[in-house]
Structure 1
Amino acid sequence: MNRAKIQDYIDQREEQRSLIYHVEKSDKVHFTVNGHPYELVKEYRNGFDAEKFAERFSSVLSKYDYIVGDWGYDQLRLKGFYDSDNPLFEPDQSVETIEDYLFEYCNFGCAYFIIHNNDICIPRQHSHRQRNSKKRTTPIIHERRRKIKQANVRQRHNQQAERVKNGHHQKFVMHQRKKRS
């Protein structure tokens, strides 16, 4: 694949993304992305461009409290950060680490902006095995049981397995085998 063909694919993708997300400005600091409210907290060296932001935006970013956008080599990079009261809070993506991120991972003196998310959308946790159609409010947690140290199956001459049915579920229970007299 040559560079011209790759650039054509990049241009097509940017055009598709620009049609997906629409930015509407209310005033100089407040705007919405597809009806979702945001507020421009800080802008350094005119780093915020609404059209470029719409091209790079993804719905995954709506779960973060703050979004930092920085420019490097004419490319906009977006990174999300959590507030300490967010249930998805992680210390390495805390609001307090934004300044460290700008110093360590961004080009020196690059234009950047910080956006506050006014309406955080926390994603639902989906279960791969939902048997009923009711929505679950808590995620399903599967615990692993510790294996009991038992002798090898062939060496268990004094035990007997019994199958117990409970509706559609079944389990096996081990019993001591009765001694023959």
Structure 2
Amino acid sequence: MNLQSYQKLVAQFCKLPGIGAKTAQRLAYHVLKMPEAEVKQFAVDMYDARRRVKYCKICGNLCEGEVCEVCEDPRRDHSLICVVKDARDVFAIEKTHEYRGLYHVLGGTISPLEGVGPDDIAIDQLLARLGGEVKEVILATNPDVQGEATAAYISRLLGGYDIKISRIAHGIPIGAELEYADEITLAKALEGRTSV
């Protein structure tokens, strides 16, 4: 079958991260079954989000103005900055309702194999925010090779500042069984143990 419009739609869905050919075909087929008005609104909403959503000029989080809601909130603890890879991590931490400090979004992690070095992420912007009220920087990058390398690099840079540097704990998730945990996760859980 030579359905060019359908094939073009599938190709567009394939460009999205984590979407393979089969999923792209299912999504395209779903769009074709939707009422025309819904499809049009979907397209308008995508375009509108792309046009309106920006990065906060202070922390790099997503926002629709110049500054995000977190940075604008006077009730947040300005002595704490939690460093994360991207805005998705901010959303994940905010869902816990436990953290009341500020954020700094790096926009990636150091990955020499992918050609991403320290100058390619927002480390200089983080350093510019230090001083004054900041008393602690929490490194909350992912516990993978790139996240650990980024955390170690930032930790070395911050060594010259008079602030506390901490790393989020890693280990066994609630509800998991030890026998199914990998060696690295178990090692991190033992390393990050706390008193009871």
> Under a length normalisation based on structure 2, what TM-score does the superposition of the two structures give?
0.23
Larger strand proportion of the pair: 1
> Which entry has the higher C-alpha Rg, 1 or 2?
1
> RCO greater where, 1 or 2, for CA within 8 Å and sep 6 or more?
1
Normalized per residue, the structure richer in helix is 2
